[in-house]
Amino acid sequence: MKKIVLFTFLFICSFSLINAQEKKDTAPVDTFRFTVVKELPITPVKNQSSSGTCWSFSGLGLFEAELLRLGKPEVDLSEMFVVYHSYSDQAEKYVRMHGALNFSAGGSFHDVLYVLKNYGIVPESLMPGLNYGENMHKHGELDAVTSAYVKAVIQNKNKKLSTAWKKGFDGVLDAYLGELPTEFALNGKKYTPQSYAQSLGLNFDDYVSLTSYTHHPFYGKFALEIPDNWRWGESYNLPLDEFMQVFDNAINNGYALAWGSDVSERGFSRNGIAVNPETRIDNLPGSDQARWLNISEKQMLDSIYKLNTPQPEIKVTQELRQQGFDNYETTDDHGMLIYGIAKDQNGTKYYMVKNSWGTDSKYKGIWYASESFVQQKTMNIMVHKDAIPKDVKKKLGIK
């Protein structure tokens, strides 16, 4: 499958979402039947609509779920507060790097964590980010304007940067997303964004990013080499088997995970299923191999990817993961939230995923991602450090 690496978040998180919303899914109604094994409480599914801000929705979705885990009341945190600060920081770093940095709508879980630690957070009601005549997020114009702005700044036609460029950039964000709240009242108490974040009762130093690739040593940390990791946030590196242990240990002990994944695969449907089908003819179901051998590759793949019933899936290895990352087959597309485990009618394990594409889908905004898909296509996860098995945490040097 041809991959587009640059501006992947903007394309997958935004423009393909437009098509998904405006065109009805013509695939056959699936016959997958799922039984829930473990399901954690989460806040309602939201809709990023036509914006490339999945990283903010999924990152905050993790912290909203963490509050529920701790028995605290449900909260609705402002994604656009995080987006505003991240866009502003990204613009400054882009200019300092003379344009030698990715500048797009994309981001990472590190951005969400950085904003919470350094700027705080506000409720969604205080900053919905819809100051431009829409009732849903539509960032095409905003993204085009901010990108053109920073490119004009680094062209530096005056031979010296002005003292006004950053104020002008933030003025654009003010116009589209709204001015940042500095002080507000909630339930009879006064807060700043920083004091409100502190009032939530979460220790943001307890959250870590994990990944699994062989081009860096295991049990150390490195910055994932992807365009949207512009903050150069680091992830702990684990062998695949221990990486997957974290998923199950987390969910079984009440911890949700922010999940960064490649969703540009044919196996990631727009109607709630993410699978990793085996496409070798000798592994396909049915004893009559001639029916596969006598059709074109396109016909065979079209039949496999109808996704109207469970299929045999690829047995993922560490080498296969690495190959996909190295050759651009696995790309950094989309952020979501994993919050449960289910099984299909054949006993195959799936992870329950909260997406941010609204509820106009078969499972009302929830996806079921097979273990094989998650093993091969996960870029990284962010999770509370106590969700990691004790022996694995010790190897990583996390206390």
How high is the mean pLDDT of the chain? 89
Lowest mean pLDDT among 48-62, 152-166, 269-283, 370-384: 269-283
Of 111, 316, 108, which is closest to residue 212 (Cα–Cα)? 316
Mention every residue, 6+ apart, whose C-beta is less than 8 A from residue 66: 202, 255, 256, 384
What mean pLDDT do residues 14-18 have? 44
Which residues in 344-378 are b (16+ Cβ under 10 Å) and which e? Answer: beeebbbbbbbbbbbeebbbebbbbbbbbbbbbbb
**Alpha carbon separation from 236 to 63, 143, 208 (Å, rounded):** 20, 31, 8
Q: Please, which pLDDT band fits residue 299 given cuts at 50, 70 and 90?
A: low
What mean pLDDT do residues 198-226 have? 98
Q: What is the pLDDT of residue 295?
A: 54
Q: Helix (H, G, I), strand (E, B), or coil: what is residue 147?
A: helix
Mention every residue, 6+ apart, whose C-beta is less than 8 A from residue 161: 95, 153
Domain ranges of the chain: 8-276+313-396
- The two beta strands, 234-237 and 207-211, are parallel
pLDDT tens string 59-106: 999 999 999 999 999 999 999 999 999 999 999 999 999 999 999 999
Of 285, 330, 282, 324, which is closest to residue 303 (Cα–Cα)? 285
Radius of gyration of the chain (CA): 22
Asked whether residue 266 carries a pLDDT value surpassing 70, the answer given is yes
Q: Determine the CATH number of domain 8-276+313-396.
A: 3.90.70.10
pLDDT: is 280 or 333 the higher one? 333
pLDDT tens string 17-66: 444 443 334 334 458 999 999 999 999 999 999 999 999 999 999 999 99
Q: What is the pLDDT of residue 311?
A: 85
Please check whether residue 121 is in contact with residue 128, taking contact to mean a CB–CB distance below 8 angstroms.
no
Please check whether residue 135 is in contact with residue 194, taking contact to mean a CB–CB distance below 8 angstroms.
no
Does the pTM of the predicted model rise above 0.85?
yes
Q: What is the DSSP letter of 265?
A: S
Q: What is the pLDDT of residue 270?
A: 85
